[in-house]
Amino acid sequence: MATFPIVEGDSFSSSTQKWDYDVFLSFRGEDTRHGFTGHLYQALCDKGFKTFIDNEDLQRGEEISAELIKAIKSSMISIIIFSQNYSFSTWCLEELTKILECKRIGQKVYPVFYKVDPSEVRKQEGSFGLALTTHEKKFENNIEKVLRWRAALCEAASLSGWHCEDGFPEYQFIQGIIREVSSTKPNRTKLFVAKYPTGVDSRAKAVENLLDIKSNDFRVVGIHGLGGIGKTTIAKAVYNRVSNLFDGSSFLMNVKENSGTDCSIIKLQEQLLFEILGSQEFKVHNTSKGINMIKERLSSKKILLILDDVDKLGQVENFLGKCDWLANGSRVIITTRDRHLLTTLEIDPLFYEVVQLDRHEAFQLFSMYTFKKDKPEADYLQLTNQFICYTNGLPLALEIIGSDLRGRNIHQWKSELEKYKNIPNKEIQNILKVSFEGLDKNEKDIFLDIACFFKGFLKNYVVDILAACNLYPDSGIPNLIDKSLIRVGSGKLWMHDLIQQMGREIVQQESNELGKRTRLWCYDDALEVLTENTGSNKIRGIMLCSHKPTKVTLAANAFKRMRNLKFLIVHNVHICNELQYLPNGLRLLQLYIYPFPLPSNFCPQKLVTLEVPRSCIRLEKLFKPYGESCLPQQIPYDFENYEVILPGSEIPKWFNHQSVGNYISFWFGRYFPKILCCVVFEPDLYEVLWCFKVQVSLKLNGILWKKSSTSEIHRSTGINCNHIWFFTVFDYAEVDLEYLNLFDRNCAEVEFDWNAFEGISPILSCGIHVECICPLVQKLSTDTLPPTSIPAFPICSISNTITPSPHLLNSNSMETTYNDFDSPLEGSHDDECDLSLSLCTSSMGRNYLPTQPQVTGPVDTSHISLLRLGLPVLGIGSNVSEGFHLGSSSMGHNFVSDDDSDFNCTATTKALRPHFFAKITLGSARFGNCSTVSEGFHLGSSSMAHNFVGDDDSDFNLYSPSKKMRKS
């Protein structure tokens, strides 16, 4: 065993030295070797103390050997047994001198006066005086050595120790010494870490860095992560690495499991006292006394305490109270699945989140359990990789499955792999399920909804939907994150594959009958229930998704019994028959290629998200009662490629550039931003036009960059009231820097034209949402203008009344803002751009004030059209963000049944069907693993409690945008 010798001048304490021996015995062999000292040595060894005793064959001399000096320095405790002839041995006196040198730098020293009086040793009287006189004569030329011996005897005899007199039972005397040594020497037995501790050392080192043992403050470090990730294993490794650096240490395993009763808590408190103090004399009678006893006994000691698997604050308080008494230098490590628990401590902890093993570590660990080496047999390589993908770096799963596969042939491996995919391992599931069982009812529902339907979806999207189900996701989702059941990455919800499998297994155990389970996500299961009409009120969500395009015929009243259905997700499945019923309680409705109108009795008063790609659905029945209150109140999640037409005439406030007419300009930095456009148009010319579309011209720093256009609107759509057309038309990746000048400010000019007859344009106003760098109006001055001849600044304002700068008034391309006196707008966007309309130069070359658009016909044909103009390439884990998001609405209205015979729209591409699509996707996304349809057009959380009125816009109301995606 390695030793840690010290030299004079070293500075260390017993709490920072690593020892080779627990006890060193210094004695005169001829006096006590075969008597008292021999019995004491055996008793110490029997109690597990590693004790050094010199060998009888050890060569003696006047100077002690280097081996003996090394043993003295590397022992935590020295026991000096003074007997009648002890001082006659120069060897013993040299040992004594070295022992006292080590005492001054941290070693514990206890004298035993075996049948000699302590005063004789201290004063060098009797046999001790005679021996020292003899040594003075022998070393008259080195009298300083004898003086050192005299001083050492005096010092040692003054220490607290034991006096063994004649007639006292030696075994009782030895037991007293054992008790004292036990209390002095803490339990430092190493803990078993793992059979194959792959990846443990690096993680233990990270925790050790957080502990910062050299620092003299008190610290708490929390190790958190999902079940089976290796929290306890890492804590054991840390304990083994640093426990010797403390006055005492204790590792309390499975605190949650062992804290069920007062008796079990008392046992843990007694274990803590014993492991640190080394004495079993402490008896705890109740938990409250135990807390105070721990505080009284340990408050002066530098200790290491590890509390393993804690799930409640009270479990920590049972041992540490308020954590306000521990001595400087003490460290506490807590392992838990609940990160939030750590934040409730009286002292702010440091956090270490355990992540799953990387692929290389998982590969090595799995191979060790299956093949007892760090790589698999060549024939098993492919299957090994599949199992590693299945376990997704969870050490518990790698250990259990790897051990189970050891010794099996390749055919059995293949069979086990398929079984694990469908029937999860019970041992793994039971450990993972512990976190689920600690959730309340709402949190359980949120977890199961995410596991069955919403893994990989945008968090804000899911929050809106679950909030409408009264599940309080704003608090529930963070709790699931704290308990390591889910995580958020890139704004989306994720969970470990085995955690998801655990959640789905919980649902499958609800009933053997598919129609009596709460959630259906497997295609075959959902299809069986919907074709055989075996559903029930217990079902709250159905996902009917196929890996390849599929046509199905469902029971016409398949959803009649599912009155509690909240989510209906259909993807890549073409429903070939018309549904006669949909539950009115739906919050999420996704229909893929549904060429029929929605049921006439469908009243979606609680609908939050409607996504109907490539479907022919007339939506006026859904939105007709609500008028402009159905206009989008928030910026969509992803507005790169979409198009929507809604009835109304007032542009939403989150369009930070608005103008009467057809022209808007703005300033941007060195990178061209994404822009969202809208125009308000009137239907006056509708009857003379067969079809029309909006053409958009974009100039960058005065140079025409590109012209683009929207899709076409045909006469058969029956537009006869003012509408707002929202769209994007530019491919931002194509913007070439050669069009931009060298300044940090660049000017963009956008002009909207009606692509119909020359000189005819029904555009009333326009708007753009963009992250611009336009100056605020109160900050505007001629000093802000760059040294360039490009058009003057467009300006943004946070005030309602504006006096334009004289410089701008003289500009040929003048744009400023004005106050909309008829309907003042409130609030401003995040960039503080003014939300009022702009006074602009019209296409006729004159300035004009805005006019209030008038409805020119009865408002009875409100239409909504969503068009996906581009489709991202989907790989594994990618998401298609499509759909219409209505927010959390209260729609307490009856719907009017209208004739859909005249309802038609033809898009400008061959990929589009000649119908008026509620949502059209060009092409069909191929879904790989984890692919989801997750985003939609978000209309905010509106309360639509009024009917749509005819020609008057006076009852329209738009709320200021919220920074959140939902508005309470």
The residues carrying an active-site annotation are: 95
Structure tokens, 898: 């209208």
Token readout for 636 is 């969509």
Return phi, psi of residue 930, to 5°: 70, 10
CA distance 473 to 454: 13
Task: Tell me if 940 sits within 8 A of 887, measured CB to CB.
Answer: yes
Nearest CA-CA partner of 726 in 684, 770, 677, 773: 677
Asked if residue 232 lies in contact with residue 252, where contact means CB atoms within 8 angstroms, the answer is: no
> 202: closest CA among 239, 234, 228?
234
Residue 593 token pair: 């290629």
| Number of helical H runs and strand E runs in the chain | 26, 36
Residue pair 632/940 in contact by the 8 Å Cβ criterion: yes
Kindly calculate the radius of gyration of the chain based on its CA atoms and give it in whole angstroms: 41
Please, what sign has the CA dihedral across residues 889, 893, 896, 897? Answer: positive
∠ at Cα 296 (294, 297), nearest 5°? 65
C-alpha–C-alpha distance, residues 430 and 235, integer Å: 22
Count CB neighbours of 361 within 10 A.
17
User: 3-class SS at 729?
Assistant: coil
Tokens representing residue 377 in the block: 């047999």
Using an 8 Å Cβ cutoff, are 237 and 251 in contact?
A: no
Instruction: Classify the C-alpha dihedral 308-309-312-314 as positive or negative.
Output: negative
Q: How far is the C-alpha of 571 from the C-alpha of 245, rounded, in Å?
A: 61
* Strand residues in 811-964 grouped as ranges (E): 815-817, 838-840, 866-868, 879-885, 890-891, 919-921, 932-938, 943-944
CA–CA distance, 935 with 382 (Å, rounded to integer): 36
Angle at 768 between CA 948 and CA 883, to 5 degrees: 60
Cα separation, 96 vs 99, whole angstroms: 5
Distance separating alpha carbons of residues 535 and 515, to the nearest angstrom: 4
On whether the CB atoms of residues 658 and 828 are closer than 8 A, the answer is no
Strand partners, 7: none
**What are the start-end ranges of the H helices in 54-117?**
66-73, 90-103
Does an H or E element contain 664, and which?
strand 663-668
DSSP summary character for residue 831: T
Would you say 236 and 197 are in contact if contact means Cβ atoms under 8 Å apart? Answer: no
Rounded Cα distance, 665 and 773, in Å: 12
